[in-house]
Structure 1
Amino acid sequence: MDLLAELRARRALCIIRAPAIPDPAGLAATLVAAGLPTVEFALTTPGAPGLIERASTVDGLLLGAGTVLSAADARDAIAAGARFLLTPGLRPEVAEEARRQGVPVVLGAMTPTEVATALDLGATAVKVFPAARLGPAYFGDLHGPYPDAPLIATGGLTTANAAEFLAAGALAVTAGSGVVGPALAAESRFAEISDRAKEFVAAARAAG
């Protein structure tokens, strides 16, 4: 699976983080149908490996695990069906486990030094957080010393600002609670989630 190719093609992915997700497969299928098939379930969600396993049967879904903090987390997520991993910061042991199992990993970073370290650790891409606080121009700044670094903007991305980050050089933007709000996921309000996902995808595509 070529995660970079998927991100270049889609320009967007979705993180799901909620206190409860009663129908992970239904939620995942909703996002796929809405044009947002690259999805990560955060391991901070209770029972996340089981949710990943239940969602892994959905056709067309590119399924990942987020907030992966340890090698054990990585092993559990991969065993459940995650095809890529994301971390909130630099986690060398997660990068090593991902490399051992041949699974793409996106490491979290903020500073230029952290971006360089993430790439040195073998990150497929680098998740820059908190993107909305740093602003779109920050991505252009990072591409000064690292012109080829694949950067994913995460944190505070909305339909109003997604295109700005992509235009500034982000490889992709992450939809979060603005698309899959915790209450919407917990209550399986799929029609609302679908509408929000379609709006986010349209905003990302507006960047060209």
Structure 2
Amino acid sequence: MTEHDLSAVRRHGVIAVLRAPSVATALDTTEALLRGGITAIEVTYSTPDPAAVIAEIVRRHGDEVYVGAGTIRRPEQAAEVADAGAAFLVSPGTDAELAAAMKATGAMVMLGGMTPSEVMLASKLGADLVKVFPSSLGGPGYLGALRGPFPDIAFMPTGGVTAENLDAWFAAGATAVGAGGDLVSSHAMAAGDWETIEATARRFARALHATRATADAAR
């Protein structure tokens, strides 16, 4: 991995984990997130035809959005979404065959791990970043504990991340965070309530800005 890859993740800070019921809903949700200031989108395989969604996001927005694919569980999925333009690939766990397929695409690779052994395996298999999932089980304190033996590994907690606790996750050592239901409400998507999604994205964006301002002031 190049420093440029990791700097992109740091720059965006919050990655919206998108589990939409349809392609059209995924695209409308993406537009609402972008209007709210969240510019990194993980289109999961829980969304129908994620490759089509990613290709259309890239067509509409190009480099203005950092788009990738998540919930990758099979090797062939990695190539499919990478060909569609995914800049990063995310798996909820760590598997050697899957990791090799993800690495072969040249995209940034994020492998899931929760325990120290899983973190070590993900790193050994070439993960550029470890997705701590489900991070709601241990909270920021657990992430901070992982940072002790693994100060050289980039972590992205996912699960249990809210606008209200965003600062605690970054203080614990997160490189970025993944935010699913607390950022992208399934009820709001089902109702086509783009205003709520946009407003929630603004809350997350403001929280990220405040967290970074506090960190800068402390330096």
State the match for 1:69 in structure 2.
73
Cα distance in 2 for residues equivalent to 1:75 and 1:187: 33
Cα distance in 1 for residues equivalent to 2:187 and 2:122: 33
Q: Does 1:162 align with 2:166?
A: yes
Alpha-carbon spacing, 1:79–1:188, altered in 2? closer, same or farther (3 Å): farther
Percent of aligned pairs sharing the same letter: 35
Structure with the larger helix share: 2
Cα distance in 2 for residues equivalent to 1:20 and 1:26: 10
Task: Please give the secondary structure, in 2, of the residue aligned with 1:195.
Answer: helix
Instruction: State the TM-score, normalizing by the size of structure 2.
Output: 0.88
Structure 2 residue runs without a partner (length 5+): 213-219
On the 8 A contact 2:23/2:49 being kept in 1, the answer is no
**1:43-87 residue CA offsets vs partner (Å, 9 max, x unmatched):** 022222222222222321111000001111111111222121000
Which of 131, 142, 149 is matched with 1:145 structurally? 149
State the match for 2:38 in structure 1.
36
On the 8 A contact 2:9/2:176 being kept in 1, the answer is yes
State the match for 2:51 in structure 1.
49
State the match for 1:203 in structure 2.
207
Q: CA RMSD in A?
A: 1.7
State the match for 2:26 in structure 1.
24
Q: How many residues are aligned here?
A: 208
- The amino acid across from 2:34 in the alignment is V
Task: Please give the secondary structure, in 1, of the residue aligned with 2:89.
Answer: strand
Structure 1 residue runs without a partner (length 5+): none
Task: Please give the secondary structure, in 2, of the residue aligned with 1:108.
Answer: strand
State the match for 1:117 in structure 2.
121
Deviates more, 1:14-23 or 1:87-96: 14-23
On the 8 A contact 1:71/1:97 being kept in 2, the answer is yes
Instruction: State the TM-score, normalizing by the size of structure 1.
Output: 0.92
On the 8 A contact 2:71/2:92 being kept in 1, the answer is yes
Cα distance in 2 for residues equivalent to 1:92 and 1:35: 36
Deviation of 1:32 (Å): 2.4
Which protein, 1 or 2, shows the higher relative CO under an 8 Å CA cutoff with sep ≥ 6? 1
Task: Please give the secondary structure, in 1, of the residue aligned with 2:136.
Answer: helix
